[in-house]
Amino acid sequence: FGLAKEYRDPKTHFHIPYRENKSLTGTARYASINSHLGVEQSRRDDLESLGYIMLYFCRGSLPWQGLKAATEKQKNNRIMEKKMTTPTEVLCRGFPNEFAIYLNYTRSLRFDDKHDYFYLRKIFRDLFVREGFHCDYVFDWTVYKFQKNAEAVAAMASLNGALLAAKIR
C-alpha cells in the first residue's frame, strides 16, 4: 500500500519507541484501532489491517463503510468509534471462527510484541484443510487469465481460418 517503515531502529536494532499523538496514516477503512487513536504503528497494526482486508474480501464491505460526516477528521472518528464498538464476533459473523481468532489475537498484541507468524499461518492452514481445499498452486486469477488467453487464441484461430478460406476461394 506504499506505507512502509522499519519497526526497529537501523542503528541500534531496538524496536522503535512507543509514541502517541501521531496522525492517522493510510486508509481509514483498514487502519488499526491504535492507529486511529494516534498511537505509533507497529507490526501488530499491520496484522490488524490485514484482518480488515481479509474480511473486506470475504464480505465485500465493512460495517464502517459509508459513514458520513462534515469533515474528514469527523469521518475518521466515526470509523474509529464503529471499529471500537463492533464486537469481533459480530464483525466476523457468517465466516469461520478462525477470522475472529485472528482478529482477537492481533488486537491483543502490545506495541512491541513479537507476533507468532507460525500460529497465525496455522490457523488458516488448518481451516484450508478442514474446508477440503488442496494446495495445487492454481489461483482464481490464474484460471481467469488462462480462460481469457484461451478465448483470444480461439478467436485468432477462427479469424485465421476465415482468412485462409477467403484466400482459397
Q: Which pLDDT tens digit goes with each residue over 77-134?
A: 999 999 999 999 999 999 999 999 999 999 999 999 999 999 999 999 999 999 999 8
Res 152 pLDDT > 80: no
d(CA 46, CA 114): 12
Do residues 152 and 99 share a domain? Answer: no
Higher pLDDT, 132 or 156: 132
Do residues 129 and 140 share a domain? Answer: no
- Measure the CA angle with vertex 86, ends 81 and 92; round to 5°: 140
Res 162 pLDDT > 70: no
d(CA 36, CA 58): 23
Q: Which CB contacts under 8 angstroms, 24+ apart, belong to 53-62?
A: 54/99, 54/102, 55/91, 55/92, 55/95, 55/99, 55/103, 56/29, 56/30, 58/95, 58/99, 59/94, 59/95, 62/29, 62/91
SS3 content of the chain, % helix, strand, coil (to 5): 55, 0, 45
Do residues 142 and 112 share a domain? Answer: no
Res 1 pLDDT > 60: no
* Structural domains of the chain, count: 2
Do residues 67 and 43 share a domain? Answer: yes
Given the C-alpha cell 481469457, which residue does it identify?
A: 148
Given the C-alpha cell 459473523, which residue does it identify?
A: 93
Do residues 30 and 79 share a domain? Answer: yes
Do residues 130 and 162 share a domain? Answer: no
Do residues 130 and 145 share a domain? Answer: no
pLDDT interval class at 160 (50, 70, 90): low
Do residues 59 and 94 share a domain? Answer: yes
CATH, residue 96: 1.10.510.10
pLDDT for the residue numbered 157: 65
The residue-averaged pLDDT of 131-155 equals: 78
CB-facing half-sphere around the CA of 161: CA atoms within 13 A: 6
Give residue-wise pLDDT tens across range 21-77. 898 888 999 999 999 999 999 999 999 999 999 999 999 999 999 999 999 999 999
Do residues 45 and 94 share a domain? Answer: yes
Do residues 129 and 85 share a domain? Answer: yes
Res 161 pLDDT > 70: no
Do residues 98 and 121 share a domain? Answer: yes
Give which of 100, 22, 23 is closest to 58, Cα–Cα: 100
Do residues 112 and 147 share a domain? Answer: no
Structural domain containing residue 158: 136-169
